[in-house]
Amino acid sequence: MHVEVDIPSERQVPLETTIAPRADRMFLRGLEAHGHHGVFQDERLAGQRFVVDVEWWIDTAAAVHDDSLDSTLCYRELFATVAGIVTGPPCALIETLADRIVTALFESFPEMTATTVTVHKPDAPIVGSFADLGVSMSRYR
């Protein structure tokens, strides 16, 4: 049995369907801040170290073209936003903390099309030895 399939040539396919939107990945790793997040009272009182990694996707074409900070996301502002949340009002769960960060990033940086936030809690109150504990959240818009 022979089946013929009519495949349109490139000239027949609209240009916007052949080019994927530009999404360039940028990142900030290892932001450390002291926060008072946790389920237990001693975590809330004394606080502890949290480490945050952020990846974000934006179209950098304009920034590449004009080599200007005005055409891209300012990572100094991103750092301040994330650090402010970690050092800010406490929450019980690192899942909630990560969600607060993701939400604030999307609110503060409309040019951001996606992000992955990882919150590490390296000094979590666990009896025993461990290398790392954390949560990663990815969100797209």
Active-site residue list: 121
Token pair listed for 126: 């666990």
Radius of gyration in angstroms for the set of CA atoms belonging to the chain, rounded to a whole number: 21
**Gap between the Cα atoms of 24 and 8, Å rounded:** 30
* DSSP-derived secondary structure letter, 123: T
Torsion of CA 94, 99, 104, 109, to 10 degrees: 120
Alpha helices in 19-129 (DSSP H): 41-46, 61-66, 75-86, 94-108
Task: Quote the CA–CA distance of 94 and 100 in Å, as a whole number.
Answer: 10
Amino acid at 54: V
Residue type, 65: H
